[in-house]
């Protein structure tokens, strides 16, 4: 067939194919690796798809498992967006080259500077904090005076000898707290503080944060350290035994007269080798909207990070007396930088 006839024959078919192409286009998706294992987050994911039309595929694991998986998968990783629940792990993922720095006016406007990574030379951000949880002290109201535990330093005071319960020192929640204390007090005082806490323990570290609260309520120990949302869950529980535990303990937001209470974050990042980076950014931007931020607050008893969002969570209000508490203002990224030194301090203190 002569070329001119071939072109005349083929053109209508090419035009038809171009009209049909959208029907066969790839469905918009975003692939999420998430360390958030909270059932209430399902509403977040459903809300995102409803708002954007982007399908969300999810893989659940803990922070360490996600970091290990990203390293193993390398450039072949299908991950687009990462959610982790600890500042130190977000910092580690950034330093290991697992995240892509992004530019987002919406996220920069919503999330305070101290709750996101340090910017690159061109203003790119590796990760953003999307919710916060306070590392608070709980105490047995029948046996301990509030003033005896109103700072983190007092956890190591000899007057609290034999009273302290705490989970493993190597757990990320504690490592981040210890890293923050090191930022505030310096290594020498932090080492002495860790030594003092070990001397004050009622038992060896074990269990999770809820176990520490229950141990205080039962009298196994008198004071403990926990993330705020674990206590809020007990306060809002439909089980009478959980409410009874919550009623026996008081909650302190430490260091209100000095640097403020340590807060950790759950945060998000775009994966370095994201195949759908624009969709990943849209997902993170959605998580900073008032709608999503209120899910964090009311679904999992966390505080929003986005400016101007004020949740109506009765447990959070009860813990703070309905007033804002003073939280530390150090860059959360600084906490991760101390992890190696903190682990060595724990080893020297014999903190299990």
Residues 6+ apart with CB under 8 A from 102: 124, 125, 126, 270, 277, 281, 284
Cα 27 to the center of its chain, rounded Å: 30
Within a 13 Å sphere around the CA of 227, how many CA atoms are in the beta-carbon half? Answer: 25
CB 80, CB 32: distance < 8 Å? yes
Which whole-number Å values give the CA distances from 61 to 37, 58, 207, in the listed order? 8, 10, 19
Which whole-number Å values give the CA distances from 311 to 222, 290, 292, in the listed order? 31, 9, 11
Is 229 within any annotated ligand binding site?
A: yes
Provide the terminal-to-terminal Cα distance of the chain, rounded to the nearest Å: 82
DSSP SS3 for 27: coil
What are 319's two structure tokens? 């813990």
Instruction: Give which of 347, 348, 145 is closest to 252, Cα–Cα.
Output: 145
Within a 13 Å sphere around the CA of 88, how many CA atoms are in the beta-carbon half? Answer: 21
Rounded Cα distance between 352 and 350, Å, is 6
Rounded Cα distance between 241 and 148, Å, is 27
Is 91 within any annotated ligand binding site?
A: no
Q: Which residues pair with 240 in a beta bridge?
A: none
DSSP SS3 for 208: coil
The annotation places the binding site for Fe cation at: 37, 229-230
Q: Which residues are annotated as a binding site?
A: 37, 229-230
């Amino acid at each position: 067939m002569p070329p001119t006839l071939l072109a005349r024959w083929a053109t209508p078919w090419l035009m038809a194919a171009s009209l049909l192409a959208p029907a066969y286009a790839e469905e918009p998706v975003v692939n999420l690796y998430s360390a958030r294992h909270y059932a209430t987050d399902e509403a977040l994911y459903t809300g995102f798809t409803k708002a954007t039309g982007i399908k969300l595929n999810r893989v659940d694991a803990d922070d360490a498992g996600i970091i290990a998986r990203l390293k193993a998968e390398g450039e072949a990783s299908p991950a687009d967006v990462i959610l982790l629940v600890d500042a130190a792990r977000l910092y580690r993922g950034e330093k290991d080259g697992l995240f892509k720095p992004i530019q987002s006016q919406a996220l920069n406007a919503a999330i305070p500077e101290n709750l996101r990574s340090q910017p690159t030379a061109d203003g790119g951000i590796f990760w953003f904090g999307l919710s916060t949880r306070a590392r608070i002290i709980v105490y047995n109201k029948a046996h301990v005076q509030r003033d005896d535990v109103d700072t983190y330093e007092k956890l190591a005071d000899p007057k609290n000898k034999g009273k302290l319960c705490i989970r493993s020192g190597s757990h990320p929640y504690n490592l981040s707290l210890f890293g923050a204390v090191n930022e505030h007090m310096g290594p020498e005082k932090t080492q002495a503080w860790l030594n003092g806490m070990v001397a004050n323990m009622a038992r060896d570290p074990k269990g999770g944060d809820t176990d520490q609260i229950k141990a205080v309520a039962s009298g196994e120990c008198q004071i403990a350290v926990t993330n705020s949302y674990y206590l809020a869950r007990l306060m809002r529980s439909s089980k009478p035994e959980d409410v009874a535990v919550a009623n026996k303990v008081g909650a302190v937001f430490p260091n209100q007269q000095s640097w403020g209470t340590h807060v950790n974050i759950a945060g998000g990042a775009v994966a370095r080798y994201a195949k759908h980076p624009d969709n990943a950014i849209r997902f993170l931007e959605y998580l900073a909207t008032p709608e999503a931020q209120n899910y964090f607050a009311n679904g999992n008893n966390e505080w929003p990070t986005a400016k101007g969002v004020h949740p109506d969570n009765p447990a959070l209000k009860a813990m703070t007396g309905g007033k804002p508490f003073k939280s530390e203002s150090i860059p959360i990224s600084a906490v991760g930088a101390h992890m190696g030194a903190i682990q060595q301090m724990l080893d020297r203190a014999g903190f299990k």
